[in-house]
Structures are given as structure tokens and as C-alpha cells.
Amino acid sequence: THFGFKSVSENEKAGKVGEVFHSVAKKYDLMNDVMSAGLHRTWKRFAVEVSGVRKGDRVLDVAGGSGDLSKLFAKKVGPEGEVVLTDINASMLGVGRDRMADEGFAIPALQCDAEKLPFPDQYFDCVIVAFGLRNMTHKDKALAEMQRVLKIGGRLLVLEFSQVWKPLAPLYDAYSFKLLPLMGKLFAKDAYSYQYLAESIRMHPDQETLRQMMIDAGLAKVDYYNLSAGVVALHKGWKI
């Protein structure tokens, strides 16, 4: 499989991704704001609105990292609902746990691999994975797991970088391959991780391919929104 600027075996990929997120964990929130000029907050709020989640619902945040979405969903479902934050990476989850505690959220944070979710079938009303799927070695397995834990009538949301509107591609390439690693070096003293980010975005399936992957994983009525000219896409599919 492809990782950053070189090809690695599938076994190696998970380890390398682990190193990247361990390395960026402490600066992760700052870098999100810097690199997206704060836009990631808008994309996340949009995803929560599109989810249609209501008071009392159960929501699973897969690859939730520092927990931005878990917090937004916790406000939506209220005390009668349930939100679970999960991530494979202990360092990212540690940052998430600290932030939850500091801000007074009682959200359980569980370390697990999206490819093997430790939840029963048909448990959640909504499952979301934001900027996480592209890091996973077996995306098909992860999508199938997310489908499995959804209730009938539940929905899966995938928020992820996608294929940008063609006329903007040269500008976007210059931004992600030149400016991103430079910002990574300046702000996080870590150019390598931000090179990985740029490359992993480029390798990720485009809008239509991801739509088909979700259908193959058993989701129905799959559709997507292009956000910020396709820099990001929000896919939504139902379990029926």
C-alpha cells in the first residue's frame, strides 16, 4: 500500500500511521485550525446538522481523535443520549480525554481499531468517521464494521478530504504539497507528518468511488455533499 512518499506493506502502514498521529497529537487541534483556516469547524458543524441526530440517540465517533465531533454530538443527544469516542491511537485519545474532562463532558473514550469495533450489532443510531477513513489500511473492513453496529434506520456519515473542483487543482496541489509541510515544520516542528497528510489526501478515493465503497459495505441511499469546492466531501448512507 502507499504511505506518504513511499510504498509500504499493509502491516507497516498501520504502524506508520500510528507514529504520525502519536507525533502530531499534542499540536493536532492547533494545526487543524491553522491549516484549514478554521474551516474544519464549519465542516464538522455541517456534518452534525446533516446527521439529523436527535435527543436520546446513540452516536459512535470512529477515529474521533481529540473529540471535536463527540462534543458537538453530545450537545445534540443530550443527557438521555449516548456518545462514544473511539480511536486506535492512545496519544490522540489521551488529548481527547483531557479535553473532555477540562470542558466538563462525560463522554467515554475507548481505544479500538475501526476494523474491529467492540460493539454489538445494531447498537447506534449514527456512526461518524471524520478525516479518519483515509488512514485505515482496510477501508472496506472498517466500513463494514461501521455498517454492522448501526441500527436499521441508522446512518453512517463519512467526512473526508476528497477530489477538489478541477480548475482549483493546481492551486490546491501547491498548497498541500508545498505550504502544508512548511507549516508543519514551522508550527509543529514536523514536516514529515504533514507530507504524509498531503499524500494521503491525494491517495484517498474520490467522491464517486467512496460512494460505491459505502454501497458495497451494505449502505443504502448513499449520497454526498461537496464542501469548499470538493476539498472535503460529506457522504451519508443509511442502513435499511
Please report whether residue 196 would count as binding ligand SAM according to CB under 6 A. Answer: no
- Residue number, 11 or 79, with CB nearest to ligand SAM: 11
Instruction: Candidates 132, 154, 181, 237: give the one binding ligand SAM (CB under 6 A).
Output: 132
- Say how far residue 192 (Cα) sits from the centre of its chain: 20
- The crossing angle, in degrees rounded to 10, of helices 90-102 and 10-24 is 30
Gap between the Cα atoms of 71 and 55, Å rounded: 14
User: Which residues make up each annotated binding site?
Assistant: 66, 87, 113-114
- Say how far residue 158 (Cα) sits from the centre of its chain: 7
**Cα–Cα distances in angstroms (integers) from residue 100 to residues 22, 25, 103, 146, in the given order:** 19, 15, 5, 24
User: Which residues make up each annotated binding site for S-adenosyl-L-methionine?
Assistant: 66, 87, 113-114
- Residue number, 130 or 214, with CB nearest to ligand SAM: 130
Strand arrangement of the beta sheet that strand 232-238 belongs to: 109-111, 82-87, 58-62, 124-130, 150-161, 232-238, 220-227
Min CB(97)–ligand SAM separation in Å: 13
Residue with cell 490546491: 172
Min CB(38)–ligand SAM separation in Å: 13
Tell which positions 58-87 bind ligand SAM, by CB under 6 A. 63-65, 68, 87
Please report whether residue 113 would count as binding ligand SAM according to CB under 6 A. Answer: yes
Min CB(240)–ligand SAM separation in Å: 26
Please report whether residue 89 would count as binding ligand SAM according to CB under 6 A. Answer: yes
Instruction: Candidates 58, 60, 74, 135: give the one binding ligand SAM (CB under 6 A).
Output: 135
- Contact region with ligand SAM (CB under 6 A), list: 74-82, 111-119, 166-174, 231-239: 111-119
Min CB(167)–ligand SAM separation in Å: 27
Instruction: Give the chain's length.
Output: 240
Name the burial class of residue 225, with classes exposed (0-12), middle (13-18) and buried (19+) by CB atoms within 10 angstroms of its CB.
middle
Angle at 49 between CA 43 and CA 55, to 5 degrees: 135
Min CB(196)–ligand SAM separation in Å: 11
Gap between the Cα atoms of 69 and 76, Å rounded: 11
Q: Residues 4-33 vs ligand SAM: string with x where CB under 6 A?
A: -------------x---x------------
Please report whether residue 115 would count as binding ligand SAM according to CB under 6 A. Answer: yes
- Residue number, 172 or 194, with CB nearest to ligand SAM: 194
Gap between the Cα atoms of 151 and 239, Å rounded: 7
Residues near ligand SAM (CB under 6 A) are 17, 21, 63-65, 68, 87-89, 92, 113-115, 130-132, 135-136
